Structure 1
């Protein structure tokens, strides 16, 4: 049985991490910290701890394809979990969506990005699975434009094989990217998050830095006003 909502929201004091100096700003992505705190774990670690008298699941590190199954087990083994605290550099996009849907299936479960922590890329979709969502002041909901062209090994191999293979790979990337964009749009609708988050923010971020002396930003951290504007967060503390 999960902790009652009133008790969950009293976690505020416990949720705020020890006072920190303002993080140095990333000169290439000025809305974001220069050194995001998304943990040094190799894959997302799930650990249950007690905070303010409630059970909290700490979810820290990169998202891989095993996350949905591991998360399902953690929630089943610990039915009193009231909140999930997230910090992650992202990872497997479809695993992030699946984990988000799993979280939404647990009524009243709170997701939280604590002050100083960063939730990036696929982690955004895990976070949005919470029925109640908190981005603390100083917490970073960091987005970028989705791209599959980061798979340099596949691209380099196709170039070595010749033009025809490269063209085929680019076609596959475009098709897969379009499919995932459609899935992301559907996910936001189901989670009650404004689709304008995609059109106004995510799709306006560049996949790679521009050349020359122009704007080189590829990442964007939402302000406190923006997380409520787009209904990314729906609980004010």
Structure 2
């Protein structure tokens, strides 16, 4: 009995040293980690490294409007890149879509969310560009419903200018949100991801607000990433 207890303690110590113990979950959103690992970079950094025999592009940080051009240059300069590993809090939605389409134009390129890393929001669409896609157990494909109404500064300013300006801004927001939703739907179809990801998951989440309400977030389970064909390679 004492030997078994020592064995369990030893295994726990090994798991702790290897970083294999599960991260604490967010009480406001039990499907996601309390402190997502999506890097502290100000914009997405692109770095080519060697992992075993493979050349891997590490893509870490927020998606900004310069990402598609920088990603295109990185892939052009390093044609032997076989995988892109992603962790990101999201960012510019259209830049994420453009980067995803660019990745899809590179045959056989693998996108991966490693264990412990989180790919959120616009990063989802970068990731889905991979022809082959891997979400490792412990990796987080984190989603929310896109909205433009989180831009409280623009709304507050329009209210100060009067009702007519506010009505016009809200109309623009609704039109832009509808357009982006249509683009997202088309993107999923082109990438071979189930459209039910939008209807079953994304559109059922509350919109992200300027207050950063974490209950708006949802992390897919391993069963779900395969159910919706978000991941199509199981290792």
What TM-score comes out, normalization by structure 2 length?
0.89
Q: Mind listing any 5+ residue stretches in structure 1 that lack a counterpart?
A: 1-17, 210-214
Q: Which residue does the alignment assign to 1:64?
A: 64
Q: Does 1:200 align with 2:194?
A: no
CA offset digits 1:187-227 (Å, max 9, x no partner): 00000000000000000001158xxxxx9821100000000
Counterparts of 1:169 and 1:88 in 2: how far apart (Å)?
A: 29
Distance 1:233 1:52 in 2: 22
Q: Any idea what SS the aligned residue of 1:138 has?
A: coil
**Are positions 1:44 and 2:44 aligned together?**
yes
Separation in 1, partners of 2:208, 2:222: 26
Residue deviations 1:130-172 (CA, integer Å, cap 9, x gap)? 0000000000000001100121221121111111111111110
Q: Distance in 1 between matches of 2:215 and 2:61?
A: 23
How far off is 1:19 after superposition?
3.1
Please give the alpha-carbon distance, in whole angstroms, between the structure 2 residues aligned to 1:142 and 1:57.
21
Alignment of 1:168-183 (within 5 A): 168-183=168-183
1:137 aligns with 2:116: no
**Structure of larger gyration radius:** 2
The number of residues matched between the two structures is: 215
TM-score with structure 1 setting the length: 0.89
In angstroms, what is the RMSD of aligned CA positions?
A: 1.3
Q: Which of 205, 228, 234 is the matching residue for 2:232?
A: 234
What is the alpha-carbon distance in structure 1 between the residues aligned to residue 157 and residue 63 of structure 2? 25
Q: CA, structure 1 residues 68+218, in 2 after alignment: closer, same or farther (shift >3 Å)?
A: same
Instruction: Give the match for residue 33 of structure 2.
Output: 33
Counterpart secondary structure, 1:200 = helix
The Cα shift of 1:21 comes to 2.0
Partners of 2:37 and 2:214 in 1: CA distance: 21
Unaligned runs of 5+ in 2: 1-17
| Secondary structure of the structure 2 residue equivalent to 1:38 | coil
1:12 paired residue number: none
Distance 1:216 1:132, change over 3 A: closer
2:132 and 2:218 map into 1 onto residues whose CA distance is 23
SS at match of 1:49: strand
Q: Which residue of 2 aligns with 1:3?
A: none
**Larger fraction in helix:** 2
